[in-house]
Amino acid sequence: MRFNPTVLPLLILASSLTACAGASDAYPSLAIRDAERVSGTMTPVTPVVIRPAASAEVLGRVDQLEADAASANTAFVAGTPAARRAVNAASGQDVGSENWSVAQVAVAGLEAERAKAMTALADLDRLYVDAGVEGTEIDRIAAAREGVMALVEQQNAVLEELAGGLR
């Protein structure tokens, strides 16, 4: 009988594979043990956010913008009765008539005052965003924004009502 050289590596491989086959109860289980289970509770700590105060320059600017918006609102409120009278006089008249033109000019005057308040609001928005990005205190700026925004919303409601009377 002749010896085949490829048989020897196959025999070695087959014998080594049979060595790996054994009883499974001889080895420990790979399942998670009780000691490996996560137990207990953990309460996360609430982070304390410390923001540095806004600079005196920024707070002064906030005060100035609030004053500008209040001044514009005072002028808006003062001009509203005259604009209402002009719109009432133009009610039912043709577009382009004398009364309609007078009413348009009166409403435009109110819109100019609202624009001043909106400019102050836009500047407060910019200060608010800048303070948020810089990580400084924003509460004072936010309060000013809310106040000016409320004024602008009231002015918008009056202008919508007056515009409805001109249609």
SS (H, E, C) 60-121: HHHHHHHHHHHHHHHHHHHHHHHHHHHHHHHCCCCCCCHHHHHHHHHHHHHHHHHHHHHHHH
The model's pTM: 0.67
The domain ranges of the chain are: 59-165
Phi, then psi, of 96 in degrees rounded to 5: 100, -5
pLDDT digits (tens, 9 = 90+) for 74-122: 999 999 999 999 988 878 777 878 888 888 899 999 999 999 999 999 9
d(CA 28, CA 165): 88
